Structures are given as structure tokens and as C-alpha cells.
Structure 1
Amino acid sequence: MTIWEKYDKEQRTDYEEYLKMYGALSAMFNQKSSETGAPYLDSKFQETIYARSFNSEDVDIGNTPHDIRSTFGNHKIGIGLKTWLNSTPSYQKVMQLKRYKNDIDPYNSEKDKDQLAYVIASIKNKRLISDYKRLGLNDNDNIYHYVTRDKGILRLSETSYPLIDMDHLKPGKLTTSSFKFSDGVKNYKYTFGDSQIWMLFGEDESDTHFLDQLNVDIFDDPFSFLRDAFKEFEKNNGLYIPKKAVSRDYLYLPLYSYRSKEVKPKSGLNAWNADPKNKGSQTLRPENEAYIPIPKELWKKKPFWVDPKVDMSNRKKYQAETGQNSYSINLHMPDGKIFPAIFTQANFKSLQTNPQSILGEWILNVLGFKHAHRDIANIPSKNVVTMKMLQQAGYDSVKLWHEKPGNYHDVWIDFAEYGSFERFMNDELQDPGENDFDSEE
């Protein structure tokens, strides 16, 4: 059974109607549509209507491989969305690896083709596994849902979105501009100029299912249509009241030291690497022990974000009034799990779970950092989380939000794009920039 078939018929109809409505307005967004006759579809619009129609979550944070997460009972499915012109088989971009260019380029030779395929495939799998851990997904249940566009037609298809099978890698043709390889299930291409991985899509490819075909009539003059529709709306006293969009007041936290712009080797994400808690003790810190460091500058900027009744920039006042040393919350993770957590330490400079290894394990696993612990109590590990590691992962921040107004003790968390905290502190717009998992043409 396809994922498409798991949705209700009414949900599928809603999604298709949104596609046809947007396609009918093509001439408004893309002048070429009048020449090609192919409906226009913006990838962000596709993402929005997919989440809305299928009661799913938009989990794309700018550089992650899955755009949508649908939940069926306890089963979570990660979905990549794509759209492009022409339904004939073609390679489409699925991941950008510019941050890994120096790791890949040394194997760009005919004699090293096996290793070249291995390195590219390993990096791609690492990025996918990172998102599985972030969102609580299974390895090989995820899909691409894609829409191809021909003259007056939208064709909907679904194909598997698996890890690359490392045991069946087969290098293909290598040229000065690209390198093809396969794992027996999917066919891939890597282009050296833009450091992109491409995957071959087509209705005859393995694990691919054609879902539906929609006929779209493109308006010759969509501007007149919208003007007339709006006039009709005004004439009827604006009886249509759209559902109010949810506006989240995000709070961003750094995964590094705001002052030094580095991940400190014995605190924060590397708290597991600190000296034993008792001087002279040989007891190692717990594996994966970590916390998120919070600079005092943040609480000066947003002192009442956590709770309108609590000034987070004045911990001493909070202690005097409540007798408590920390502010407790229920931390909702992206995979759906909920853990007790606290804002604690001097100046509320730390967000941590109890035990600290819960939050630490989630963050470190997503970063691909495993078994974080010292081998010997009095000798620090040299293998620690670094800013380079955060940069390659594409995250150096997390974002928090309240899902339910007035419920201040329930806080949701997810990773945020690289540079998010600095933009937040500088009152800049959160622009994800270049997407490592390009879903556009």
C-alpha cells in the first residue's frame, strides 16, 4: 500500500483541488506557463498544502531531508516533496554537499571510483540518519511525493526514499563534471561543480507508483479573475473568514558559547568531557551528559519569554519568591517524546533534562556523535563536538516555542538552521539560505 492510499479520500481531494487552483493561476507567477502550457507549482506552496490537506507536520527547517512528517497511529513517515517540468525520467537534485567538498574531491579519479561512491553515499546516509533520529523515523519507510508538470497536466507519483545500500554500491561513468553510481535500487549522480547529489526519478523506476493525473485549465488573465473574486467578496461583506494562521514566538538558543563562538571542550555539548564531579574521584561523567548553554544576553533580550510572571534575567528574585533554584518544563521533542527539563544554574544559563544524558543523546545522535565519554577520568577526550561539526551538520542552534497559548510549562524544541541564534540576537529575519535538500527545479 502506498502512503497516498493511507490518507482519506477527502484529504486527497483537498490536496488535488489546491494543486489545480494554484495551477490555474500559473500565468500570474510564471510567464513561461503561457508558452509551455504547463502549470506552475511553487515548492513552498506544495509543502504548505500537503501539510494542511493531510493533517501532517511541516518539519523542514531549511536544510533537512524531509519536508513533511505524517503519522499513522504510532508509525511516522518522513516525506520529501518535489516538483519539476516534464514527466519523462530525469535526474533531480536531492542533496547538496558543499560542506563536504574537501572530503569528496580527493577521490575524483578513475582509479578511486569505488571509494568516491563510498564517500558520497556515506555522507548522504549520515545526513538521512541524522533526520531519522531528529524526527523518530524508521530507516526505510520514507518516501518522495513528487508532481511533474506537462502541458495542461499535473502527474502525481510516489517513490521510496531509502538509505543507499552500501553493500551493493556500483560506480558508473565518471566525467569531468559528474559521477554516476547505483546501489541496485536507485540510480544517483553527483555533480562536482555544485556538489549536488541527484537521483533518477521516473514512473518505471523501482518502488515508484503513479498516483493520479490532474487536468489543469490555466486562466488567460488570472489578475482579472482575482480582482473580480475580491470584488464579490467585498460585495458580500467579506463573509469568508479564513482560519487564522498560527504565529509562533520562537526563542533561539545557541549550541555553542555565544562569547567565544566555539563549543567549549568541557561544557555545554561536551559536559560529558568535564572532570569528575568530586575532586580526586575516578568516576566518569555519564555518557552523553550535556546541556544547552544560555547566555545572559538572551534573558536581557527576552526576560519574560518562558513565563510572563517570571523574569529569567533575575534568578535571585525568582529564588526568593519561590524557593526554587530552577524553572521546570515539559520538553516536547521532535520525535514526539516528552521529558522533564529545567532552566537552571546561575543566571538560568543552562537548559537540561534529568538526567542530562537525555537531551545530550538526542543532540549528539543527530550530529552523528556517538558514545560521548572519557576513557580515563583524569584525561580529557580529544574527540569532542566542535563548531566545524555543527557547521557540517547545518545546525548551531535550537528553537523553542509554546504550542498552546497560556501553557508555559510545555515547551517544544527542534534544531534551527546554522546562524539562527546570531540572527535572532541581531533582530534579523530568519532566512535559511541555501537548502541542502533542494526540492525545487
Structure 2
Amino acid sequence: MTIWERYSNEEREEYIKFLQVYGALSNLFRQKHGDLIPYLDSKFQETVFARVFKGENVDIGNTPHDILSVFGDDRIGIGLKTWMNSKPSFQKVMQLKRYKNEINVLNGKGQEEELAYKISSIKNDRMERDYERLGLNKEKNIYHYITRDEGKFNILECTYPLVDLNNLRDFKKTDTSFLWSDGQKSYKYTFGDSQIWQQFDSEKKDTFLLNQFNVDIIDDPFEFLIKSYFEFLNDFSKNDTDDIVEVFLPLYSYRKKEVEEKSGLNAWNAAPKTRGSDRLRPLNEIYIPIPREFHTKYPDFFVNDIFSFERSQNSFVGEHKNKPQVRFHLQLPNGKRIPALVTQSNMKGLQSGSQTEIDPETNRKYGQSALGQWLLVDVLGLKERQLVTLEWLRKVGTDSVRLWHKKGDYSLINIDFAPIGSFERFINEENEELEE
């Protein structure tokens, strides 16, 4: 059974209608009319797919999966793509600019197998990191893609596996590119832009043609839009996203522009909690730094007026265990929830931890290591007690996290990684510029 078949008929029909309407407006995006191949923007495709099929948009900038679909216990990662013409073709699937130097040292005569292994290993590592981030089963993920021919769209689905490192073959290298296969998929790496490309072919046995439908391109879409807008203006409803509050936090010290060696993501490396002891702090004990500037600009994100709450904490008299805390649950993108709180002086740390809740997998109380285990080890692949640096974070493609919750609901906050520079753009109120 394809993933497409797991969605309802009503959902599939609605998805096709959205695509037909967008394709019909193709002349909005062209300076010259006459092209009979309908246009489709990839970001619109992501948005409408998530909306119609009730999926979650999990693309955080150059990550392998765009959409997460959940069917009971099955968590399916989906890569979305679109291009013109249905003939077999190579399409970009991963950017490896940060690995350019270590790849290029293998670009010599007689090193084809080592080169294929290196590029494939990096690709697999990036994908496995996303499996951990989203809680995916590596065997079930797919590409859902749309090819566009004259007057029609074609919807297809194919498998999205790891590269089989034990079956690398069919090497062919030129001055500009390197091709290889693993017996299931064919790949290409282009040296100039450090891109991995994958060949898509509707004739392959792991590829399924799901639907074909006509798209009638409107000659004058501008007139159509004006009439439609004013005719249906009163029917427009408030978007659900208006009820979502979204912020970003840095994974480094905002003031020092580095990950400090004994705090933040390296809090486990601080001095022992007991003076005079040589006992190390718990493995992966971390907190995410919250700059004071963040609270100043967004005092109502974690609680209704963080400064008022802080004053009540400072004036509290009584047993420490009864002291008020900013507590909530963090919803991880892999489907798990962990208890968390905002703590430390100046409310400067977001950390996991609870004195009462038990982790069902380990049967232990949640501690400050729970967030670090997911963030540093499970997803980013950090080795045991390896110091985190800003350079290392950016090498693996992130330096910030995104947080969001329903407006007025402080009990559950969602968290995920964010592209490099997200916090700086957010705090400075700059437009987002994602790396392609």
C-alpha cells in the first residue's frame, strides 16, 4: 500500500483541487504568456500538503524531510518535490556545502569508491539524524513528487531509503560531477555547488504513478483574482496560525557569540554540584540559554508576564520545594513529551527536569539530561562528554531552536531545531533567509 492510499478520498480530492487552482493561475508568475506547462511553487506544495493531509511541516532548512504524517504508531517522513517534464531526470536532494573540503580531498584519480562512500555516508548521517529528530522508521519514508507536462500534473510516490554503502558501483567522474549507484537509486554529486542529486524515474519498480489530471491555465488570472476576492470576501475566515505564538532561542551565548565551555549546552562540564567533590555532573545535563533581551521583547511567551513571575519568586518565603516555578511540557518533534522549566537567575535557562514524573522508557525521574539526550545525542550525534562549539553546531546545520504554543496555553510548548541565524534574525526582526 502506498502512503497516498492511507489518506482519505476526500483529502486526496481536495489536494488535487488546490493543485489545479494553483496551476490555473500560472500566468501570474510569468512575464510572457504561451507556456502550456503549468507552474507549481514548491513552498505552496508543502503548505497545501500539510494542510490537506493534516501533516506537520518539519522542514527547518536543508533537512531531508519536508512533512511528517502520522498514522497511529507509524511516523512517515515525506520529501516533496516538483519539476517540469515526466522523463527520467536528476533532481537536487541535499546540499553539502559545509562538507566541501573533506569531499574534495577524495576527488582524485582512482579514488572513485572512496568518494562515493564519503558522500553517501554524509547523506546517510544527515538522514539518520532526521530519523532521530522526528522519530521515524527508516524503512517507510517516501518522496511525494509532482511532474508537470503540457496541460497536466502527474502525482507520483517513490521510496526514500538510505544509500546502501555495501553496494556502491557504476562510478563515473567528470571535471564537474560524479555519478554512482547503490543498485536501487542512482546519484550524482556536482562539485561546483556541492549538491547531491537523485535520479527519479517513473518506470522504476519502487515508484508509483498515483494520479494524472488536467490543468486549464487561465489566460487572465489577474481579473479572476479581483472578481473572486470581492465576491467571497465575507467568507474569508481567520487563519488558525493566528492563534500560534512562535519564537526562537539561541543554542549559544547571545552576548559572547559562542557556546560557553561550562554553561548552556556544556553545563555538564561545570564544576561539581558539591563543593570539594570530584564527581562529574550528569551526562548531557544542559540548558538552552534565554537572553535577557528575549524576555524584554517577549515577556509573555513562557508565562503571562515573566517579570511579574520573577518578582514573586524573589519575594517568596518558605520551603524551597514550594517555590513557584515556570513549568510546562516540551513537545519534541519525535512525538515524545518531557517536563521542562525556565529557571536560574534572570530566568536565563530553559531545561528539562521534574521531581515527580517518570520516564516510561528508563523508569527514572526526568532530569536535566533528558533535553540534552534528545538535542545533542539522539539528533546531532554528539559523542559522550564532547564539548559543543558554535562551529560544530553550524557544521551540523543549526544554531537555534524554534518554540511555539497556542496563544494563552502555557502548559505545552513545541520545540524543534531551526536554521543557522534564526535567533539573530528573530531578535533583530529581520526577514528570514533560509539557505537553499
TM-score by length of 2: 0.91
Separation (CA, whole Å) in 2 of partners of 1:309 and 1:262: 29
Separation (CA, whole Å) in 1 of partners of 2:73 and 2:238: 28
Question: Counterpart of 1:71 in 2: which secondary structure?
Answer: strand
Deviations, residues 85-134 of structure 1 (Å, cap 9, x unaligned): 00000000001111111111100112211111111111111111111111
* Structure 2 counterpart of 1:412, from 400, 411, 414: 414
Separation (CA, whole Å) in 1 of partners of 2:183 and 2:278: 51
Letter in 2 for 1:143: I
1:206–1:180 CA distance, 2 compared to 1 (3 A): farther
Which residue in 1 is equivalent to 2:128? 129
C-alpha contact (below 8 Å) 2:303/2:326 kept by paired residues:
no
Which residue in 1 is equivalent to 2:358? none
Separation (CA, whole Å) in 2 of partners of 1:26 and 1:332: 39
Letter in 1 for 2:140: D
Which residue in 1 is equivalent to 2:362? none
C-alpha contact (below 8 Å) 1:367/1:389 kept by paired residues:
no
Separation (CA, whole Å) in 2 of partners of 1:325 and 1:432: 39
C-alpha contact (below 8 Å) 2:62/2:94 kept by paired residues:
no
Unaligned runs of 5+ in 2: 354-366
Which residue in 2 is equivalent to 1:361? 373
C-alpha contact (below 8 Å) 2:295/2:306 kept by paired residues:
no
Separation (CA, whole Å) in 1 of partners of 2:394 and 2:175: 28
Which residue in 1 is equivalent to 2:237? 242
Which residue in 2 is equivalent to 1:434? 435
1:298–1:231 CA distance, 2 compared to 1 (3 A): closer
Does residue 268 of structure 1 match 2:280?
A: no
Question: Counterpart of 1:418 in 2: which secondary structure?
Answer: coil
Deviations, residues 145-185 of structure 1 (Å, cap 9, x unaligned): 00000100111100111111112122510011000111111
Question: Counterpart of 1:154 in 2: which secondary structure?
Answer: strand
Which residue in 2 is equivalent to 1:295? 291
Letter in 1 for 2:24: A
Which residue in 2 is equivalent to 1:68? 67
C-alpha contact (below 8 Å) 1:110/1:174 kept by paired residues:
no
Which residue in 2 is equivalent to 1:7? 7
Shift of 1:283: 2.6
1:230–1:261 CA distance, 2 compared to 1 (3 A): closer
Question: Counterpart of 1:185 in 2: which secondary structure?
Answer: coil
Separation (CA, whole Å) in 2 of partners of 1:146 and 1:243: 30
Which residue in 2 is equivalent to 1:220? 219
Consecutive aligned runs of 4 or more in structure 1 exceeding 4 Å deviation: none
Question: Counterpart of 1:277 in 2: which secondary structure?
Answer: coil
Shift of 1:277: 2.3
Shift of 1:284: 2.7
C-alpha contact (below 8 Å) 1:170/1:181 kept by paired residues:
yes
Deviations, residues 389-415 of structure 1 (Å, cap 9, x unaligned): 111222101121213x32212211111
Shift of 1:300: 2.3
Which residue in 2 is equivalent to 1:390? 393
Shift of 1:36: 3.3
Separation (CA, whole Å) in 2 of partners of 1:3 and 1:102: 38
Correspondence list, 1:18-417, <5 A:
18-31=18-31, 34-170=33-169, 172-233=171-232, 238-247=233-242, 248-311=244-307, 315-320=310-315, 324=323, 326-354=325-353, 355-365=367-377, 368-373=380-385, 383-403=386-406, 405-417=407-419
Higher relative contact order (CA closer than 8 Å, sequence separation 6+): 1
Separation (CA, whole Å) in 1 of partners of 2:433 and 2:377: 22
Separation (CA, whole Å) in 1 of partners of 2:314 and 2:204: 63
C-alpha contact (below 8 Å) 1:417/1:432 kept by paired residues:
no
Identity %: 52
Deviations, residues 246-269 of structure 1 (Å, cap 9, x unaligned): 133322211111122111222211
**Greater displacement, 124-133 / 242-251:** 242-251
**Greater displacement, 292-301 / 46-55:** 292-301
Shift of 1:189: 0.1
1:232–1:276 CA distance, 2 compared to 1 (3 A): closer
Q: Alpha carbon RMSD of aligned pairs, Å?
A: 1.9
1:317–1:204 CA distance, 2 compared to 1 (3 A): same
Shift of 1:325: 5.7
Which residue in 1 is equivalent to 2:17? 17
Question: Counterpart of 1:271 in 2: which secondary structure?
Answer: helix
Letter in 2 for 1:225: F
Separation (CA, whole Å) in 1 of partners of 2:56 and 2:96: 26
Deviations, residues 273-327 of structure 1 (Å, cap 9, x unaligned): 3333224434332222211122222222222322224427x73443325862631
Question: Counterpart of 1:137 in 2: which secondary structure?
Answer: coil
